[in-house]
Amino acid sequence: MSMSLPHAEHRTLQFDGGQAVGSTYQWPGGQYCAIHTVNGLVGCGIYDIRSANEFSLLEVSHAAAALGVTPGMTGREAVERLLVAK
């Protein structure tokens, strides 16, 4: 049985608060996407930065909450918060 590797792509994304790395892995029937900052990541569904304004976070980790990320924020707001967190 032959299986090809998923498509993987990484690129630098520019935000008001700085830069982050966008990553996507795509395979037939699915994908995983994330934006990585030095303080954490926002995952799935926001690799196209234009769509980051179109969804809100349902849940956040304790670590994200400690950095000021809250449920209800847009993906863009969460990435901006992570970029400026100390």
Least confident interval from 10-14, 39-43, 44-48, 57-61: 44-48
DSSP 48: S
State how far the Cα of 40 lies from the Cα of 83, in Å rounded to an integer: 9
Q: Is 2 inside a domain boundary?
A: no
The residue-averaged pLDDT of 18-45 equals 85
Residue 64: CB atoms within 10 A of its CB come to 22
Q: What is this structure's pTM?
A: 0.64
Range of the domain at 47: 7-84
The count of domains in the chain is 1
Q: Is 1 inside a domain boundary?
A: no
